[in-house]
Amino acid sequence: MRAVASIGMTSGLARFYDLLLSLAWRDIRVRYKQSVLGIAWAVLLPLSMMLVFTFVFTRAIDARGVLNVNMPYALFAYSGLVPWAFFSSSLGGSVNSLVANRNLVTKVYFPREVFPLSCVASAFVDFCVAMTVLAGLMVYFHHRSTWSFEPTLAMTFLPVVILVQVALTIGLGMILAMANLFYRDVRQIFGASIQLLMFVSAVVVPTPSDGSTLARVIAINPLSPIINAYRDCIIFGRLPDSGPFLYATVVAMVTLVVGWFLFRRASYKFAECI
């Protein structure tokens, strides 16, 4: 029965594919409406954060010896900030997606999953744009530093890494959207905690291996092996560590299934609570 229901949900979403694309395109247009630089902000935001963290860790406190990232720190930071920006932007839009579309939720019938899914889809466009700059940075540091890059077959594993992150993001996005509809405090809590999460996700500092409390927290966070997997496939030219990445994959799949199940189960209450 669950398998049949799952197939039904998927086919239902397929019928509203055009609506999903329309909502995603609307989110992109609203995000950059009356903006002089437009889609360039998808690059400028992670790039500016990269410059800030590079200055802090290599100039202000000179922590290069402690970080020991085996590459230019700017490249390390940017390669973590791009998938992080995709993750945080997707969830930031998803958490308020049902409330922001209250008119559609209460008056028109279609799978409500399209709202958080459209937020992930619009953020993915920014992710793809920002990834092109990562390629440019790799070429720059290859010629202007002692670090060198050699493409390997490990880069073909990158779509798997992206799919795992997308699964985790969609699952969390549906949970947050549903929770914020019932308890509006969720949006405020999310806004306060998302930046803290960045520092325990191997985004701007490498995963510690000293057995400390911070190391254990980062190891539990499934986003850490995902971000490390991006660096492994793109920069180091190797496959991700199988143990941590398998853990992240399992957590992502479970989160997706649980999030989808809870979202669908509670969807009949959405119109009443909004």
pLDDT in tens, 110-169: 778 888 999 999 999 889 888 988 888 888 888 887 778 888 898 999 999 999 999 999
Q: Check residue 14 and give its pLDDT.
A: 61
- Domain membership flag for residue 11: no
- Domain membership flag for residue 4: no
- Domain membership flag for residue 143: yes
- Domain membership flag for residue 196: yes
Contact 233, 154 (CB under 8 A): yes
Query: pTM for the complete prediction?
Result: 0.85
Q: Which residue has the higher pLDDT, 96 or 163?
A: 163
- Name the range with the highest mean pLDDT among 168-172, 191-195, 216-220: 168-172
- Its domain, for residue 220, covers 18-273
- Domain membership flag for residue 85: yes
- Domain membership flag for residue 202: yes
**Count of domains for the chain:** 1
Contact 53, 204 (CB under 8 A): yes
- Domain membership flag for residue 188: yes
Kindly report the average pLDDT of the chain as a whole number.
82
Q: Mean pLDDT across the stretch 258-266?
A: 91
Q: Mean pLDDT across the stretch 43-54?
A: 77
Percentage of the chain beyond pLDDT 70 is: 82
- Domain membership flag for residue 9: no
40-44, 45-49, 163-167: the lowest-pLDDT one: 40-44
